[in-house]
């Protein structure tokens, strides 16, 4: 009787340590579904801010790079692209379906348009703090044309815990790259 209890306890300890190791390393059911990006994550040299921090659940956030009345002057000009988060829907405890729209605001069509997005823990953009990344190849966008897509953002339990440890703050960096130019937006959100 004592021997069978000892075997069961050893088996429970072994399984528990395996689950703990999977949680810490982010493998198995605790793994994230990051999109692999080919090559480096592109950014422009000077990164325009989206107008400060956002708070709340993040629903309906706008990261269009600033307000514009449609006119341009020497001091301010309309950015070539806008990027807007249209909707965020919960698809699980550590999962969100994010719908976003990119619009070509240039007078000419844009070719070779690709949107790269990264989510970092806290207020950092350090490579070690990336918890999710994705890439959407759009192709061409005529002047005034918009492209809307929904992407699933799933974090492992380890990554979600890291966000919680950063008081719920994340930094989202979105780069819109075309054959003509590259534009990067950075936004910080409180998601807890």
Q: Which pLDDT tens digit goes with each residue over 101-152?
A: 999 999 999 999 999 999 999 999 999 999 999 999 999 999 999 999 999 9
Range of the domain at 8: 1-31
Are the beta carbons of 101 and 84 closer than 8 angstroms?
yes
Per-residue pLDDT at 97 exceeds 50: yes
Count up the domains in the chain and report the number. 2
Query: Is residue 14 domain-shared with residue 38, that is, in the same domain?
Result: no
Query: Is residue 158 domain-shared with residue 97, that is, in the same domain?
Result: yes
Span 35-44, mean pLDDT? 60
Q: pTM for the full model? A: 0.66
Span 80-97, mean pLDDT? 94
Name the one residue in this structure whose structure tokens are 């070779």.
112
Query: Is residue 92 domain-shared with residue 162, that is, in the same domain?
Result: yes
Query: Is residue 41 domain-shared with residue 111, that is, in the same domain?
Result: yes
Question: To 5 degrees, how large is the angle CA 186–CA 179–CA 110?
Answer: 85
Query: Is residue 171 domain-shared with residue 134, that is, in the same domain?
Result: yes
> Residue 115's domain is classified under what CATH number?
2.60.40.10
Query: Is residue 67 domain-shared with residue 52, that is, in the same domain?
Result: yes
Query: Is residue 18 domain-shared with residue 38, that is, in the same domain?
Result: no
């Amino acid at each position: 009787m004592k021997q069978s209890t000892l075997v069961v306890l050893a088996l429970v300890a072994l399984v528990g340590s395996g689950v703990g190791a999977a949680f810490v390393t982010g493998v198995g059911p605790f793994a994230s579904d990051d999109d692999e990006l080919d090559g480096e994550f592109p950014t422009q040299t000077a990164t325009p801010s989206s107008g400060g921090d956002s708070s709340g659940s993040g629903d309906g956030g706008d990261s269009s790079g600033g307000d514009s009345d449609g006119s341009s002057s020497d001091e301010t000009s309309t950015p070539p692209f806008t990027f807007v988060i249209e909707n965020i829907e919960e698809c699980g405890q550590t999962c969100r379906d994010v719908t976003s729209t990119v619009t070509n605001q240039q007078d000419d069509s844009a070719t070779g348009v690709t949107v790269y997005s990264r989510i970092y823990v806290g207020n950092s953009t350090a490579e070690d703090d990336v918890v999710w990344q994705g890439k959407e190849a759009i192709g061409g966008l005529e002047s005034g044309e918009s492209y809307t897509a929904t992407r699933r953002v799933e974090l492992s339990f380890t990554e979600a815990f890291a966000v919680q440890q950063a008081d719920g703050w994340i930094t989202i960096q979105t780069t819109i790259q075309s054959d003509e130019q590259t534009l990067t937006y950075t936004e910080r959100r409180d998601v807890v």
